[in-house]
Structure formats: structure tokens, C-alpha cells
Structure 1
Amino acid sequence: MKQVILSVIGLLLVLPGFAQTNTPFYYNDYWKLTTREDAVYFRTGALDTTHLVFAGAVKDYFRSGQLQMSGSYQAGLRHGPFVFYYANGQTKIKGNYDLGQRVGEWHYYYPEGSLKQRVEFTDNDFYVWEYYDSLGNTQVDNGTGTWQNSYYEPGNPSKIIVEGKFVNGKKDGKWKCSNEYGRLYYVETFKEGEFVKGKAVNAIGGRGGKYEQELNNKLLPPFKLSIAEQFIFAREDVQEEYPYLAKIVVSEEAGFNTVDVQPMYPGGMHQAYRLVTNHLVYPERARREGIQGKVFVQFVIDKDGSVTQAKTIKGIGGGCDREAERIVSLMKDWEPGYKDGEPVRVRMVLPITFQLTPNLESRY
């Protein structure tokens, strides 16, 4: 039996009105929910307990009480200014979201306060206009130069390094992704900002699979955001601390720890969200009987990016389960996940919320 790797993503359909709680959320160092006693970070802000998403302003803090992040959510999506801070109080990253998408100029800083890079996000891509190394040497000036980004993924002890060249703000030439020990994951080629080709590299340095869409791991948002938004529990007993999250069923094996590169929906998850809102049809029986709630659909992104094995693992009936499965099956042509430079099958769980708005109810 082929191995299937588990991951979790989340979307919602509509958020008209909701019940909420302002109880603090406590996180471990991987941003999984834990107890107050074991917390490394904590968050304040409103949770929409009907749809299980954050709503309005949120603030994250280090255990010391020092601010770690401020931002806000609209309909469960990051929206408006977000600012991240180092433990010493210096600004780390700042920029704006528009319904889940980074937009406009973002600024990144080193711990002592000097500018690291100035980046512009637009049309699901990014353009680097300024970049300085840790010694203050200019590496990218007015959009041209050599750029590098390094980061850690949860559960992966090796630092991931992405490097390549920008010309007039756009990616150009060969780009590569490797770990800090020199193990190569992939090589991509660009021309004037346009993706030309990509090749994954397998675990022993040999030729891996070729692919025709850029892998979007070069300048990811802080991993904490996605994990905190999924409400993953550090231990099973922690769930008792958060009774309003009782509807969430996510095993400890779920997460972002198991693949080198996560599957990517064309255009990003913002486009997946648009597909749901544009194509989901509220089942007649569910409307008639007032059935609302969240359907959890499990599915597999195969090695070729196709969606298979869509099935409801927790439903609400009234035709909603079948409709949620239909919508998931429409999400075609994913960029597959990669492990050790090879495409792999990745199992995902997608919660879709069905909520009747007053306008919908008044039509029937």
C-alpha cells in the first residue's frame, strides 16, 4: 500500500452572523494549542465559534508579555495591516493582507532594526526591490541582484535555503532550493519573471520529476499563521481547555511537518476560496430543514496534481456532505507535494462551512 501523507487546510463559505468568545489561546513553540502553564506564546482576540475562525483584531504575545504580532481577520481571512516583532521589541515584518493575500509593499528587518528587504506582492507573485545581507551589504538594488531567503519548517531540523537572481524586480535565470547542508531539492529557470521550467531532485541527488508550475515556497508567510488558524492541539487532553473547539477533529499526525513542499492550488488558496464561493450550491433539503454547520472532506492530491478519494469524514447531512465532496472534486490541477525531491501523494482535510444567510432563507 502506497504511503499517503496527511495535511490540513481550511476554507469557509459565508459568515453572516456569529457567536464569539474572547478567551485567550495558548500555544507551544510550534503554535499548537496547549495549556497556559506550557505556553510559549498566547493570543488575544475574538473567535467566531459558529464557524471556528478568528474575527476582527488579534494580538500575539511572547510568554514574557512582549507583543509578537498584531493583525486582523475578516470572514476568517487575514485582512489589513499585519506587524510581526522580535522578542526584543524590534519590528520583524510589516505589510498588508487583502482577504488572505499579501498585497503591496512589505518590509523585513533584522533584529537590531536595520532593513533586510523591501518586497512587493502582486498577482500571486513577489518582486524584491531592495535586499541587504546581515552585514548591511547591498545584494539587490533597485530590483536587480542576488537574493537569498532561509527559513525553518515545523518538524524539519534543517534550514531551507532558496536563492536566485532578480533583474528589474523580477526573477531571472536559475533558482535553486536546498537545505543548509547542501542537499538540493529543486532547480527552476525563469526569464524576465516568467517561469520556464522546474526540476525536482531526489534524495540521492539524481534526477527527479519535471514540473511546469513554480513552487511557491520562496517567501512564505510565517508558518505560525496557518497552524494557529487550524487549531491543532499539542496533546489530546488540551482540547478540554477549549470546549468551544470541540467540533474540530484533527489528529496529532496532521500538520505541515511531513513534506518538503506542500501541494499548491493554482493561484493559491485564495483562488480555492473563490471556487468554493462561486460554485457551491446550498442543497434544497438543507435549506428547507435549516441545516447548517461544517463538513470535513478528506481527499488526496495525487502525484500528478489530480484530486482523488474525496469523502466526508464528518458531515451534517441534508445533502451538504455530497455537495462538499462535489466542490472538492472541482479543485483540479494542483501542484503536487514533494518529499525528498519526488512528487508524493498528500492527504488533506478541507472543512467547508454551510451557513444560511437571512437573504437565502427569505427566498424559500
Structure 2
Amino acid sequence: MRNWLPFLLTLFYLPLLAQSTVYQGFEADSAAEPRGGMLFLNSFIQINLRKPILAEAKGVGGLVVVSAIVETDGHVSDVNVIKSLRPDCDREAVRVFSLYNAWKPAQKDEKVIRQRVSIPVTFKPNAPFIYTGGARINFFDTESKPIADSTKATYRQVTPLDTNGLPAGDIVLYKLKGTDWKEDVRLQFVRKINAYRNSAGQSVHLIGHQNSDQEWEGQLVALNELGGRIHEEYYQNGKKIGPQLSYYENGSIAEKTDDYDEKSVLTSWHPNGQIKQIRIITKYKALSPGSPEQVMAFWDKMGNQSIKDGNGRAIYQTKAISHGDTASKTQLVEQGLYKDGLKEGIWIGRYDDGSYFYEEQYDKGVCKNGKAKSVGGDTLRYLDAGRPPEFPGGMQALGQFLSSNLRYPVEAQKAGVQGKVFVSFVVCTDGTLCDYEVLKGVHPTVDQEALRVIKAMSGRWKPGVQRGEKVRVKYNLPINFTLN
């Protein structure tokens, strides 16, 4: 047996040695490349890149060149810096580049091989600012326009930010009066622990700032239980501005929403970094009855584009609660055609565990008819694929009900309390309401009055319907308290 041992070790060692060989691009017959091309890789890097706060304060710009091995399955390993800019920017470049695992691997002699690649990561320069004592300092002139020269400033804004660029305290605006800076406006720092639960049932925390009307102002960030960023958006005068960003748990971009006057453009990515889909949602007026959304482009996780200019076929795969066992999840596969961005023809959905199936007929994005069947159940036939819950008479009747039944608490009136209370509740399948929650309150007495009126609507609602079946639907409603 001893004589065989070296031979056996050699047999095992040789394939391991071959696998460990890393080639350079010029040695490959076809070099490794990002699926979809360098344009998509560069876009992915820039949308994920967050310049470290200390580098941003100095207005740093420049290149970090990273090196990595593209493995035979398309993911990257051994990511390191071969051209440095500064340590904090180097670490961020490595973090972001490590998130992109949508590579087409290199080939040599008709075999997939490992190849080392080098990619530049660009940090764009910005106007420098003062960052001291954990706070960003900005100066403004008499018209509230940014100004670099502090000696000519009328206002000074102090914005506490941690080293990750996250809100960390009250934002205070000071006004120069004589030779002294006096507090003029304060935005309260708000940290809401367990603000809500996401679709996976995980607790989400919110951090940001609110004005005197308890409306969000500036950056609002949603964090998971481990402190990872999962969503961020910006507010001005209580209204959303700029892009809205959502992230996967690994920190990679999941979706970006850009709002314009008449439409919103939503770009989404697969978890491996491959671009997935571009959608357009038209505001105010639907493109056709029940269909304000157009899908203009779609790629699978391997970078194959199946929808271009709104035309082609899509296959969606998502996790869903099994109809056979509500304690477990299964894969839902949905597929069909798009024409001019709208669903067209037959669309089919099927659960991998066989617990649910549906088939629908579409014409210019409108569901004309459909049928669905759950395990052990009868086939349901329907005309609408989905209908949200509704208060009888619509939004106008809902507004009338609220104005007729709402009583402004005397204590709140005397204190001059006003603002919007955002209440969440679930419309159950019998039209009753449950699972009430104040998402954003104004004052304890006002919040309780908002809840009282919401509860008074229980039993009056028309339940939501999905594929011919009544379903529980979560509903968010703002209730405005305004002093005349």
C-alpha cells in the first residue's frame, strides 16, 4: 500500500495544479469580458461607488486600478489594488469591483480557463468642503446659494455624518448676526428602529432628518438588521427628489428609479451585477386601461438580451409562498411576450412545486381573461389579473368619510400641532381592516385620532382581488391635520 500512496497523491495533485493556472489576456484564445460589455460594467461600478467622506471632503479625484481573477464560472476572486489612489478609495474600489460577478470567462484550446484582468475604477472630483468633528460644514450667501469663502457667508450649515456618509445627528443652520453665529433652523435627526418589515419578513430601520412638520428632509436611508444599506432616497420640502436606490443584502445595486415630470425610469440588476431590466412608468395617465408600465429591455443573468426596444420575450423567476405549504417558499416562473413594452398574447405562471398555475391572455398590456388553479382547488376564471382594495365610491368618497368623521384633538389644536399622519393597515378578504400601524406620527393625540378614524372604516372596504381570488393587501394612507 505504501508504494501506491505517492502515485495516488500525484493523481489528485495534477488536476488541482492545472486548475490553479491563471492566464493573462494575451494568452487566451478569447479573453474574459463583462457580459453585455464594458459599458455595463462601468455603469455598475459608478452607481455602486461611494466616495469615502474624507476623500470627498478634499474633493479627491483619480483612478484606482484593481486586478482580479475571473474564475471559470464568471465570478471574480483575489481582487486587489495594483495602482493606488489613497487607502480609503482603494478599499472602496475593491468592495465595488468584488460585487460584479457577471463575467464571460476566458477560453483557451476550446476550454474555459481562469484569467487575470485589470480594470480602472474612476473617482470623479468634486467641490471640496470642510469636514471636522464628524460633521460637514457648508456656507451660503444671503440668497442661500453655496459659497466657498466663509468670510462672505451669511449662513453656515452643520451636517453630522459618520465615516460611511450616513446621517449621525441634527442638521443645524446658523445665521450670522453681527459677529456671532446664531441657530436659525434645526432638522431633527430621526432613527426609527424596526420601522417596518420587508418582503422577506426582516426588520428595517430608518435614519434621516425631519422638519418641524415631521416631514423627511434630505437623505433618508433604510438599513437592515446588520446595519447594511438597503434603500436610500432624498427629500426637499417633504417631496422626493433625485434618484431612489435599492440594494441587495450583499450591498450590490438592485434597482435605481429616476423620476421625471411625466414618467419614472426604473433600471434593475441581477444579484451578480448583470443589468436585468429597464421599465418606464407613465404618470398621471395610463398608456392603456390598467397598464401604465412598459418594459423596454430585459437581460437574463447570463447577459442574454431577450427584449429590445420593448419587443421580445421575458422569463421572470421569483420566490413565492407555496400554495401547498404556506410555511415554505418555492420558485415562481412567469413568461410571455412584450410588444411595444406591453404584455401581449399568452402569459403563463407556474410554481416549481406544482402548487399553483395561471394562464392569461393580454392585448396591449390589458388582461382580457385568465384562469388559475391551486393544488387541491377548482380552476378560477377571471377578467382582471388584479384589482387593489377600494373604499366604496373611490378616493373621493374616502376623502369625504375622513373629513366627516375626523375630530381634531383639542390638546393638539391648543399646541398648534399639525401635519400628516401616515397609517398602515391590511384590508382583509372580507373587507375588514387589521394590523394597524402608525408609520409616521405627528403627536400622540393626533396619531390616536387617525387610528380611530381608520378603524371606523373596517368592514366598509371592497377587498383586493388577485387572479380571481380575494387576497389580503397592505394599504398606506396619509391623513392630514391642518389648522385653519
Question: Residue 151 of structure 1 corresponds to which residue in structure 2?
Answer: 318
Gaps of 5+ in 1: 1-18, 34-40, 216-262
Q: Is the contact made by 2:343 and 2:366 (CA closer than 8 Å) also made in structure 1?
A: yes
Deviates most, 185-194 or 322-331 = 322-331
Separation in 2, partners of 1:301, 1:74:
35
RMSD: 5.0
After superposition, the C-alpha distances for 1:174-194 in whole angstroms (9 at most, x for unaligned) are 112222334434222111222
Q: Is the contact made by 1:109 and 1:116 (CA closer than 8 Å) also made in structure 2?
A: yes
Structure 1 residues 325 and 75, CA, compared in 2 at 3 Å: closer, same or farther? farther
| SS of residue in 2 equivalent to 1:158 | strand
Counterpart of 1:264 (choices 363, 368, 388) is 388
Q: Is the contact made by 1:295 and 1:324 (CA closer than 8 Å) also made in structure 2?
A: no
- How high is the TM-score relative to the length of structure 1? 0.55
1:157 Cα deviation after fit: 1.6
- How high is the TM-score relative to the length of structure 2? 0.44
After superposition, the C-alpha distances for 1:140-183 in whole angstroms (9 at most, x for unaligned) are 12211111222225765212232221112111111122223344
Amino acid at match of 1:343: E
Q: Does 2:402 align with 1:280?
A: yes
Q: Is the contact made by 1:320 and 1:354 (CA closer than 8 Å) also made in structure 2?
A: no
| SS of residue in 1 equivalent to 2:220 | strand
| SS of residue in 1 equivalent to 2:191 | coil
Of all paired residues, the percent bearing the same amino acid is 18
Separation in 2, partners of 1:309, 1:55:
31
Higher fraction of strand: 2
Separation in 2, partners of 1:91, 1:295:
28
Separation in 1, partners of 2:256, 2:340:
23
Q: Larger radius of gyration, structure 1 or 2?
A: 2
Q: Is the contact made by 2:409 and 2:449 (CA closer than 8 Å) also made in structure 1?
A: no
Q: Is the contact made by 2:316 and 2:334 (CA closer than 8 Å) also made in structure 1?
A: yes
After superposition, the C-alpha distances for 1:8-46 in whole angstroms (9 at most, x for unaligned) are xxxxxxxxxxx965226368884544xxxxxxx754224
Question: Residue 245 of structure 2 corresponds to which residue in structure 1?
Answer: 83
Structure 1 residues 202 and 144, CA, compared in 2 at 3 Å: closer, same or farther? same
Counterpart of 1:167 (choices 339, 343, 366) is 339
Counterpart of 1:199 (choices 357, 371, 374) is 371
Question: Residue 257 of structure 1 corresponds to which residue in structure 2?
Answer: none
| SS of residue in 2 equivalent to 1:204 | coil
Q: Does 2:382 align with 1:211?
A: yes
After superposition, the C-alpha distances for 1:267-293 in whole angstroms (9 at most, x for unaligned) are xx9x97776456531558647675789
Separation in 2, partners of 1:344, 1:153:
17
Q: Is the contact made by 2:298 and 2:307 (CA closer than 8 Å) also made in structure 1?
A: yes
Counterpart of 2:301 (choices 121, 134, 157) is 134
Structure 1 residues 79 and 308, CA, compared in 2 at 3 Å: closer, same or farther? farther
Q: Is the contact made by 1:21 and 1:49 (CA closer than 8 Å) also made in structure 2?
A: no
Amino acid at match of 2:356: L
Amino acid at match of 2:336: G
- State the number of aligned residues: 273
Q: Does 2:464 align with 1:335?
A: yes
Whose relative contact order is higher, 1 or 2, with alpha carbons under 8 Å and at least 6 apart? 1
Separation in 2, partners of 1:162, 1:330:
34
Question: Residue 121 of structure 1 corresponds to which residue in structure 2?
Answer: 281
Structure 1 residues 125 and 328, CA, compared in 2 at 3 Å: closer, same or farther? farther
Q: Does 2:187 align with 1:57?
A: no
Q: Does 2:302 align with 1:180?
A: no
Gaps of 5+ in 2: 1-186, 322-326, 439-443
Amino acid at match of 1:113: G
After superposition, the C-alpha distances for 1:250-280 in whole angstroms (9 at most, x for unaligned) are xxxxxxxxxxxxx7236xx9x9777645653
